Amino acid sequence: MSEEKHLDNNASEQEPCEYLRIVRLTRCQSVEALDCALERMFQELFGTDGVLVMRPTGPLVEEGGSVQHIHVSSMENNIRDVVIGDSQRCPKRRYLDAILEVYGNQYELLLKNQVDKLTGLSNRQLLDEKISRLTVNRDVSDRRKNEPERIVAIFDIDHFKLVNDRFGHLYGDEVLVLVSHMMKQAFRTDDWLFRYGGEEFLVFLNNVDIEHGRSAINRFLHQVEAHDFPQIGKVTISCGYTLYKPYENFSTIFDRADKALYFAKGNGRNQSQFYEDLVANGDVESTERDSDIDLF
């Protein structure tokens, strides 16, 4: 076989593989899946399992030809040489640029579908995906030893209907935006913040014990109470929270937090209530049901 024909055959074998990698990115239905797909591509291209992907925090930005949102651990220097150092006309450089451009476009598209447009918090769709991933990833045989501590909290703006009725929905939306902004500042980047619906928010506090979680929740409530909302004045929030138990259905966990929230609403508002404390004190009946526990 001539050298030219051999090269043509190699090219024809390579093109479908390169094309399928890009198609793989466009078929991702979540940001998490997209990150995993990009990470796998770098592993295929550079033969390392030490590749990590850091998501962009905003639109893709290039400075001096470098792609800012990609971070690679063990192969960092090699990939930087390929992505940045090679000539713009280098085929591999152009191919990597194409992959990153597709990744960026798909990321922005998925992000729009997973973020509440008004508040900028994650929406119900992403909440469902997070819960699904927690369910899939849990190891039933080792769940109690290695599962990180989590708290699930439901926040509800007190008398929000009166705000809309008295001042109009425009001011009501402004309250939602300001409360969401304070929520982002009050909690850590590792916590998951969701607009659950209307004036209700749901927060996963990750890797936290109950005392630190309680302090963070009450600190946020005090920050909202102390804020002077334009035209409206004072706004308060009530909260119900509970421990996340990985072997339970999430609907059971949510019901516990919601029951604590209902107690907070019915006993003065502008407060937080911990479901487990309420049960221990006899203030509410336990919602524990053996049928809700996944044994298999």
Catalytic site residues?
199
SS (H, E, C) 99-165: HHHHHHHHHHHHHHHHECCCCCCECHHHHHHHHHHHHHHCCHHHHHHHCCCEEEEEEEECCHHHHHH
Residues 6+ apart with CB under 8 A from 172: 160, 163, 164
- Which residue do the tokens 């093109």 mark? 15
E strand segments, the chain: 62-63, 66-67, 150-157, 192-197, 200-206, 237-243, 272-274
Three-state secondary structure call for residue 267: coil
Burial 127-144 (b: 16+ CB within 10 A, else e): bebbbeeeeeeeeeeeee
Q: How many CB atoms are closer than 10 A to CB 202?
A: 21
